[in-house]
Amino acid sequence: MAATARKAKVSFWGRLLKYFRDARSELRKVAWPNRKELITYTIIVLVTVAIVALFLGVFDVVFARLIGFLSRLGG
């Protein structure tokens, strides 16, 4: 019972410090990409974003014109 009472009295700053220690420990375990991998992955992400943006832009224009056409028919 003494261990649980002591654990409950840990201050906010003590918990915060433990959090940052644990986070630092976990970040040391991460396999970080090297420069070549980072550049490759960045290019892949940018190309993917451009393709999706183009795809959504085309659909937006098509649907906007379709809705405009349908509203002219009804009114």
Domain total for the chain? 1
Q: Where are the alpha helices (DSSP H) in the chain?
A: 2-8, 12-28, 35-74
Which residues of the chain are under the pLDDT cut of 70? 1-8, 75
Q: Give the range of the structural domain holding residue 6, as residue numbers without chain letter.
A: 2-74
How far apart, in whole angstroms, are the C-alpha atoms of residue 37 and residue 22?
27
pLDDT digits (tens, 9 = 90+) for 14-31: 999 999 999 999 999 999
Task: Tally Cβ neighbours within 10 Å of residue 70.
Answer: 10
pTM > 0.75: yes or no? no
Quick check: helix, strand or coil at residue 30? coil
